[in-house]
Amino acid sequence: MDHRLHDVVPAQALIFDMDGLLLDTERLYFEATQAIVAPFGHTVHLADYTEWIGRDVTTADFQALYPCDLTEEQIWGALRSGFIRRCETDLQVLPGVWEFLQGAAAPYPKAIASSTRRVWIDQLLAQSELAPHFPVRVSGKEMARGKPAPDIFYAAAAALGVEPAACVVFEDSPHGVRGAHEAGMRTVAVPTIFTAHCDWALADRVVERLDTVRADWLQTGRDV
């Protein structure tokens, strides 16, 4: 689905979210969160969790949905350990990712722009063997404002040495699409089970898998 076909700037660089787009980690975060809140009688509902995807989540956010007798350190420590434990046995690269990176995306410089902490970005990319494709990595934790603000996308474009308008951004969350749109970049949304019901009006294109985006589209905004 293409929305803006006029005045398309040919792509010079590609910027990717990580969780839920390249790696099936949103499912693991979801499971780790459920494990934390279940002893307090809470259930993590899909609609609530979706609001967290693609942005910084605070302890206040967590406690508002799942009141529990845990400190900030205990919450995030338990989430981190539960997530890492699941990644050790169940980290998966999502379908279409390798095909796209080795195909239409191969000629372009690429960056990660993720709300995840830098140490996790580095660890997950290394574990999944995706690291060589993404020498440029920007964490939302390093920004004054996280997604949906455009700061992280401006930073990624600057690190790539490319003007924002010449970047194409790939995202699985409306927060990320909104930020990239505000940065003046073309956006491709790849919804997941967590975000399939969301409004994608700001995306230039919505696809089921990354490898359905062709080289022609990256240059012209059309599949020739």
Please give the positions annotated as active site.
17, 19
Question: Any residues with CB less than 8 A from the CB of 198 and at least 6 apart, and which?
Answer: 50, 173, 174, 191
Residue 108 CA, chain-centre distance (Å), reads 19
Residue pair 118/142 in contact by the 8 Å Cβ criterion: yes
Cα–Cα nearest to 113, from 165, 192, 28, 175: 175
For residues 159 and 155, give the distance between their C-alpha atoms in angstroms, rounded to a whole number. Answer: 6
Q: Determine the residue type at 184.
A: G
User: Judging by beta carbons within 10 Å of its beta carbon (0-12, 13-18, 19+), is residue 106 exposed, middle or buried?
Assistant: exposed
Q: Say which residue the tokens 């830098």 belong to.
A: 118
Question: Running DSSP on this structure, what letter comes out for residue 67?
Answer: -
Cβ atoms of residues 19 and 25 within 8 Å: yes
